[in-house]
Amino acid sequence: MPKAAGNKKEMFESMPVPKALMSMAVPTIISQLITLIYNMVDAFFIGQTGNSFMVAAISLTLTLVIMLTSLSNLFGVGGGSLTARLMGISQEEEARRVSAFSVYGAVAVALSYSLLIGLFMNPLLRFLGASEQTIEYARQYTFLVIVLGGGFSMVSMTLAHLLRNAGYSGKASMGLSLGGVLNIALDPLFMFVLLPRGSEVVGAALATLFSNIVSCGFLLFAYQKATRTASLSLSLNQARRIKRDSVKKVFAVGVPSAILTGLFDLANVCVNMLASAHSDLALAGMGIVMKVERVPNAVNIGICQGAMPIIAYNYSAGNIGRMKKTVNTARLWGLIVSFVSIALFELFAGDVTRLFMSTSRGDAENALRTVTYATLFLSIRCLASPFQFLNYHTSFSMQAMGNGKATMLHAFVREIVFYIPFMFLLDRLFGETGLAWALVAGEGCGAMFALWLMRRAIKQAEGRAAAP
């Protein structure tokens, strides 16, 4: 066995759980944060123009960007989870077929998505809440980032999932981080140096497009190199030879994961529509907050994604004790992050939101109103952080166990039964403030349901391991 493969096996099987989780989670957290920063940096630099309408337009396009993540989960999470489980039962050849199938599946879906967005961009942006003041900016950003660059972004995320589930968390994180660092450097160059004033949205979009292309290229190189020692493949022939049962298993986890993110995206669509109904400034303020609150969420998702391969491997191998310890350790770490973030946001909500909107350039009056909205929304919505983590944690853990049906049920109940109805009800009763409180109410109810699902899933895993 190659030394690299032996080290990965030790990490999955015998390394102390906190150390193994740290090894997997830290690179993932770093990449999540850097990826988040380069998603946020567009909003940050655009906010420095003092143009609330540009900020509102970028907020609208967030829905389309999140859908890229949703679709990448179809093959990234579905294929990655199955790859880890196949490794746990020493079926390396089928794991290679699954990984190859996942890569080419992601390419096909990415091209289809970009084509559809290009064909229906105008009516779609109007549906999402674009006004006469925001639609041209939204069109510029959508064309460059989604229509031209969406494929690179989606394939990058899929490759990162596959690498991470094969034990190469550092390589996955490096590839995503490279794109993030590059975008941070290129944004001000394109926005304020190379392009004329008034073209800041185009500059931000070009920087993101170029960064995604570079990130995708690096991850393809890292993935190809990893095929020499890991149960991964880029062979189209192996993709064609995947077993029918494996295809079903990829979609059994991938479809619920995609639906989970898709329902989250649907909730964001509803938030944007309700906020824009109040005003473009309320939409801009909500857009700022939805960027800021993703910081603790990114850390917590990194913890969950780091735990996922260890959970999947040990679930498949029947080592339920180690699996439960991984679940519990990840849960503790995530809750600590969540409560710290609440304290910081409550203390510094105004300071944080002002970072994303200049009140000394452009239309200062509208900028100040946008900051006021954002400060109010952040001080309320941050209270949902521990509930959001419990929902993420349950979802990722159940995906690792291959429990796609429970994942889908959780996603449906969390968004359709709780969050979205709370959104419309509280917005109608209390206006913009009620819209902010809807996240706390919806995620809180979803978290209670998630804890019940998680307890049931672990009991089922214990029964499966104890069966002769």
pLDDT in tens, 272-284: 889 888 887 888 8
137 burial via Cβ count (<10 Å: 0-12, 13-18, 19+) = buried
Mean pLDDT of 242-247: 87
Looking at the domain assignment, is residue 32 inside a domain?
yes
Q: Would you say 436 and 290 are in contact if contact means Cβ atoms under 8 Å apart?
A: no
What does the pLDDT read at residue 363? 63
What does the pLDDT read at residue 1? 41
How many angstroms separate the CA atoms of 416 and 224, rounded?
Answer: 40
What does the pLDDT read at residue 5? 47
Lowest mean pLDDT among 135-144, 147-156, 163-172, 285-294: 163-172
Mean pLDDT of 179-184: 82
How many angstroms separate the CA atoms of 215 and 217, rounded?
Answer: 5
pLDDT tens per residue across span 255-274: 877 887 778 778 888 888 89
* Cα 303 from chain centroid (whole Å): 13
How many angstroms separate the CA atoms of 406 and 424, rounded?
Answer: 26
For residue 407, what are the domain limits? 3-463
177: tokens are: 């981080």
Task: State the total domains in the chain.
Answer: 1
How many angstroms separate the CA atoms of 330 and 242, rounded?
Answer: 33
Looking at the domain assignment, is residue 415 inside a domain?
yes
Average pLDDT for the chain: 84
What does the pLDDT read at residue 3? 47
* pLDDT top residue among 177 and 158: 158
How many angstroms separate the CA atoms of 190 and 185, rounded?
Answer: 9
Looking at the domain assignment, is residue 141 inside a domain?
yes
Is the pLDDT at 302 greater than 70? The verdict is: yes
How many angstroms separate the CA atoms of 313 and 95, rounded?
Answer: 12
Q: At which residue do the structure tokens 């109904």 appear?
A: 277
Is the pLDDT at 126 greater than 50? The verdict is: yes
304: tokens are: 């969950």
State the Rg of the chain over Cα: 21
Looking at the domain assignment, is residue 468 inside a domain?
no
152 pLDDT tier (thresholds 50, 70, 90) = very high
What does the pLDDT read at residue 214? 92
Question: Residue 138: phi, psi to the nearest 5?
Answer: -65, -40
Contacts of 39 (CB under 8 A, 6+ apart): 65, 291, 294
Looking at the domain assignment, is residue 105 inside a domain?
yes
* pLDDT top residue among 220 and 56: 220
Q: Would you say 211 and 175 are in contact if contact means Cβ atoms under 8 Å apart?
A: no
365 burial via Cβ count (<10 Å: 0-12, 13-18, 19+) = exposed
Helix (H, G, I), strand (E, B) or coil at 230: coil
Q: At which residue do the structure tokens 């859908």 appear?
A: 67
Mean pLDDT of 314-339: 90
What does the pLDDT read at residue 291? 80
What does the pLDDT read at residue 417? 94
How many angstroms separate the CA atoms of 301 and 29, rounded?
Answer: 7
13 pLDDT tier (thresholds 50, 70, 90) = confident
Is the pLDDT at 7 greater than 60? The verdict is: no
133 pLDDT tier (thresholds 50, 70, 90) = confident
What does the pLDDT read at residue 2? 46
235 pLDDT tier (thresholds 50, 70, 90) = confident
Q: How far is CA 426 from CA 264, 388, 414, 430, 442, in A?
A: 18, 19, 16, 6, 11
What does the pLDDT read at residue 360? 62
pLDDT tens per residue across span 376-412: 999 999 999 999 999 989 988 888 887 778 888 888 8
How many angstroms separate the CA atoms of 92 and 8, rounded?
Answer: 14
Lowest mean pLDDT among 135-139, 152-156, 262-266, 311-315: 262-266
What does the pLDDT read at residue 449? 95
What does the pLDDT read at residue 384? 94
Is the pLDDT at 245 greater than 90? The verdict is: no
Looking at the domain assignment, is residue 349 inside a domain?
yes
How many angstroms separate the CA atoms of 394 and 409, rounded?
Answer: 12
Q: What percent of the chain has pLDDT over 90?
A: 26
Contacts of 343 (CB under 8 A, 6+ apart): none
Is the pLDDT at 358 greater than 70? The verdict is: no
Angle, in degrees to the nearest 10, between helices 320-354 and 420-466? 160
Is the pLDDT at 25 greater than 90? The verdict is: no
What does the pLDDT read at residue 201? 85
